[in-house]
Amino acid sequence: MTNLTKPVKRVSKGQVYHQGKARNVVISIELPHLVGLRLQGCKKTYKLSAVELYWMAAKQSADEAKNRKKARG
């Protein structure tokens, strides 16, 4: 696996409607361990640590599994 040595930015296919326009979500991986999210054409970037993002995704996955199990009876 390659270590992160410089920031990497990619434009996703995911879109959010903001100020009357459909804008793609730009995802950046930044040093030391941050993930940045912003809308294309906007300056404001929201940042989360990679650890926080991991735990949020793990919790959501566990909650979804719990809800599926509960729905089955």
Where does residue 7 rank: exposed (0-12), middle (13-18), buried (19+ CB within 10 A)? exposed
Residue 73 has pLDDT above 90, yes or no: no
Residue 39 burial by Cβ neighbours in a 10 Å radius (0-12, 13-18, 19+): buried
Query: Over 80: is that where the pLDDT of 67 sits?
Result: yes
Q: Is the pLDDT confidence value at 3 over 80?
A: yes
pTM attached to this predicted model = 0.81
User: Per residue in 7-63, pLDDT tens?
Assistant: 999 999 999 999 999 999 999 999 999 999 999 999 999 999 999 999 999 999 999
Predicted pLDDT of residue 42: 96
